[in-house]
Chain A
Amino acid sequence: MNIVINGKHEQVALSEPTLINLLAEYSLQGKSVIVEANGQIVPKDELASTNVKDGDRIEIVQFVGGG
């Protein structure tokens, strides 16, 4: 499946095409992140039930603490 993540074209293969699996693919599951799919923020409790499909534009922002 071809999607755009944080502005970059990526090819990903997910066992089940959900946002939570996509986060796991990037080792971000359970981390402090905000996810936007096609311009809409996806609430945390809907990450497992929201599907990712070909051509989607996903933004993933991870909170970090250093400085």
Chain B
Amino acid sequence: MHNRYSRQELFLKEKQPFANKHVLLVGAGALGSALAEMLVRAGIGRLTIIDRDYVDWTNLQRQQLYKEQDAQERLPKAEAAKKRLEEINSDVFISAVTADGGPEELSALMNAHLPDLLLDGTDNFETRFLINDLSQKYNVPWIYGACVGSQGISCVIVPGETPCLACLLDVLPAEGMTCDTAGIIAPAVQMTTAIQGAEALKILAGRWEEVSRELVSFDLWKNTYSSIKIASLKKASCPSCGKEASHPYLSEANRTRTAVLCGRDTVQVRPSEERAFNLSQLALTMEQHGTKVKTNGFLLSAIVSGKRIVLFQDGRMLIHGTKNTADAKKLYQQLLG
């Protein structure tokens, strides 16, 4: 009989404390890949992964679950991740959702199967503030993690106890420190997820007294590490976790319809209502009009007006080679009305 968890159990002095735990992981890029692999190897019961993107060659340098074939086939990340993770540990129930995690999509996942923990594998503050509000509304802890260049940052947010992300940051940072402008090295990802992952294991094992209550950051190139106790920053008037919390980021009205993707020179356009496209039918029509089209069952890709476009079944489109959201929207409407 295999005992794959023996070394972990030796350390924890407990048998498989994670077996019945469910984690909802938002984002399956660099952070998400590393976190998912850690949790699946640790033997959690259930992992739900939601991601809006597909595997690209520029991901392979740091997004550890993906391989060249995934990039060649442009597999949706959630699907490619599920496939690899099931090879690693077939005992874990993994569900993959390819969608843009907005208020509606994430609330539906919370309602369908309430997780024990929400994990941040996203690349933008808009989604992080949404996770922050969900965490408060559903009383589920979450772990903020982010990295860029050689830097990383992480913080555990426990509803009803610690300050939340909105207490720490009164406005959405808009200073363009993303993989797009500063690049990223893989060790910064691994260090960030090592911190997030350790806190995740403590929370899932119920070892609350060991959970960090500090905001941690580091720079692996400059050899600096810092840790700040943040309890004093909790705000009674916070719109997300205060006495009269309104959870502003759960409102669809606060959601932008276009987004520039981190590190990709790409704009995503979302339809205002979910639309189900018949991709093979659409491919046929486009080919009849002289456009070369590729489909793989999950998405359709083509070159239109000199730009590579990728359309998902739910009507989302990625438009590559631009950061101009207005142009991207126009192209979307030109193609799909």
Contacts and interface: CB of A to CB of B under 8 A. Distances in A.
Interface of A: 5-8, 31-32, 34, 36, 41, 59-67
Nearest to B215: A61
Interface residues of B, number: 47
Interface stretch (B25-33, B102-110, B201-209, B272-280): B25-33
Interface of B: 27, 29-32, 120-125, 128, 145-148, 151-153, 168-169, 171, 173, 175, 177-179, 182, 184, 189, 192, 215, 217, 219, 222-230, 232-233, 262-263
Q: Which of A5, A61, A65 has the most CB of B within 10 A?
A: A65
Contacts of A66: 123, 146-148, 177-179, 182, 184, 262-263
Contacts of A8: 222-224
B120 A60 contact: no
A64 B263 CA distance: 14
Given A6-B217, A65-B148, 4 more contacts: A6-B225, A8-B224, A32-B169, A67-B120
A64 B153 contact: yes
A41 B215 CA distance: 12
A7 B224 contact: yes
B147 A67 contact: yes
Contacts, number: 91
Contacts of B178: 65-66
A5 B225 CA distance: 9
16 contacts: A34-B228, A41-B230, A41-B232, A59-B228, A62-B151, A62-B153, A62-B217, A64-B146, A65-B123, A65-B125, A66-B146, A66-B147, A66-B182, A67-B27, A67-B123, A67-B146
Contacts of A31: 173, 175, 177
A56 B148 CA distance: 28
B99 to A, nearest CB: 18
B153 A67 contact: no
Given A32-B173, A32-B175, A67 B145 contact: yes
Contacts of B128: 65
A67 B177 CA distance: 11
B262 A67 contact: yes
| Residue among B27, B151, B263 having the largest count of chain A Cβ atoms under 10 Å | B151
Nearest to B125: A65
Interface centre among B145, B168, B175 (most CB of A within 10 A): B175
Contacts of B222: 8
B248 to A, nearest CB: 18
A41 B189 CA distance: 27
Nearest to B178: A66
A7 B228 CA distance: 12
Nearest to A59: B226
